[in-house]
Amino acid sequence: MSNKSAVRLEHLSYSYKNDDNINEEDLTINDVNFDIYEGEYVALIGHNGSGKSTLAKLIIGLYVQLKGQIYIFDQEMNDDNVYELRRNLGILFQNPDNQFIGSTVRDDIAFGLENDSYDYCAKNIGYDAFGHAHFDYYYKGEFIDHIQLNVNGEHNVKNALAAIAAAKRIGIDVDTMKKGLLGFTGAKRRFELKGTCNDFTVVDDYAHHPTEIRATLESAKNYPHNELWCVFQPHTYSRTIAFLDDFAKALSLCDHVIVTDIYAAREKDTGIVSSKDIVDRMADYDVDVHYIKEFDDIEKFILKNCKKNDLLITMGAGNVDSIGNSLVNR
């Protein structure tokens, strides 16, 4: 075991309560301090609800701590580096009988991008004129075949590798894999091409978490367009207040952003957060951003300002897709 700290927590506290009046009894995690050293195996043991999963989600940056610091290989986790640090972190299913790809933990983690240390590897990743990904598939360092996908984004290359690993395990040949992957054109509301309006392209995506938003917008870079527009409808008040800064940072990948009112879903508006807070957070980024409440007014704004060959993405888990439907059916 090394003396180098891989994970260090200093005075870490967290509460699921989202207001300014948090007492000690509201804390799920309270002043936690420990190190996990390189090469060390650590087990967290406790009753249901004691905070084990919460602590794990804090360590990988899915939750933001109330107080304290998290260090990954001596780098303090913050808004600027959380996505990069996550490349060194991961979560596996706790039940080995329900692995994602194979029957062992090793099978589940044995695929990756541009890395010969993985059994299943994608190299020479590229994108065609429609932004669809293609790559060279390697197994245990040996080139197997070139794979063409009919979907966008690096995250779908990873999904394809997972599908390849699962297919190989049950004896499916490469030609059948290739045909199946090429035949998949995407799930509904996942970078779904809706059509065109006034010579700009309209796409809809269900992304409503900052990580999903970033993945979708990174995918959009490989789709042919001039400027990138996003109409974002936040989903639930609790998620919005928990990830305000993360939303702002993810949306900063766009040229133009329109934020509309929060889709409440199961929650009630307590007045402590609004979509305007995201707009305010985006003041630090070089992005044209607007808050527009009514969908009709959003359509009018887009029709006036969106130009030929621009790409418009309606984004969120609520009813924001109706804007795109209305535009392409004019």
User: Which pLDDT value is given to residue 264?
Assistant: 92
The string of DSSP codes covering 126-173 is EE-TT-EEEEEEEETTEEEEEEEEEEESHHHHHHHHHHHHHHHHTT--
pTM of the full structure: 0.64
96-107: b or e for each residue (b if 16 or more CB lie within 10 Å)? eeebebbeeeeb
- Dist. CA 182–CA 189, nearest whole Å: 19
State the pLDDT confidence band at 153, using cuts at 50, 70 and 90: confident
What integer is the mean pLDDT of 319-329?
A: 96
- Identify the weakest region by mean pLDDT among 48-57, 192-201, 230-239: 48-57
* Greater pLDDT, 240 or 20: 240
Which distant-in-sequence residues (6+ apart) come within 8 Å of 309 by Cβ?
199, 200, 201, 224, 225, 226
Q: Which pLDDT tens digit goes with each residue over 285-322?
A: 999 999 999 999 999 999 999 999 999 999 999 999 99
User: Which pLDDT value is given to residue 319?
Assistant: 95
User: Which pLDDT value is given to residue 94?
Assistant: 53
State the pLDDT confidence band at 101, using cuts at 50, 70 and 90: very low
Q: Does the pLDDT at position 47 exceed 50? A: yes
User: Which pLDDT value is given to residue 149?
Assistant: 96
Q: Are strands 111-113 and 120-127 parallel, antiparallel or unpaired?
A: parallel
Residue 202: which region, alpha, beta or left (left: phi > 0; alpha: psi -120 to 50)? beta
State the pLDDT confidence band at 96, using cuts at 50, 70 and 90: very low
CB distance 259 to 315 below 8 Å: no
The string of DSSP codes covering 186-245 is --TTSSEEEEEETTEEEEEE---SHHHHHHHHHHHTTS--SSEEEEE--B-HHHHHHTHH
Q: Which pLDDT tens digit goes with each residue over 264-273?
A: 988 889 899 9
Instruction: Indicate the DSSP class of residue 123.
Output: E
Q: Which pLDDT tens digit goes with each residue over 105-125?
A: 555 555 566 666 678 899 999
* Greater pLDDT, 95 or 227: 227
Q: Does the pLDDT at position 130 exceed 90? A: no
Class of domain 5-88: alpha beta
Amino acid residing at 71: Y
Q: Which pLDDT tens digit goes with each residue over 159-215?
A: 999 899 889 989 999 999 999 999 999 888 889 999 999 999 999 999 999 989 998
State the pLDDT confidence band at 50, using cuts at 50, 70 and 90: confident
User: Which pLDDT value is given to residue 99?
Assistant: 46
- In whole numbers, what is the pLDDT of the chain averaged over residues? 88
Q: Where are the domains of the chain?
A: 5-88, 96-183, 192-328
CATH of domain 192-328: 3.90.190.20
Amino acid residing at 273: V
* Greater pLDDT, 236 or 3: 236
Count Cβ atoms below 10 Å from residue 147 Cβ, excluding itself. 21
* Greater pLDDT, 134 or 62: 134
Fold entry, domain 96-183: UDP-N-acetylmuramoyl-L-alanine:D-glutamate ligase (3.40.1190)
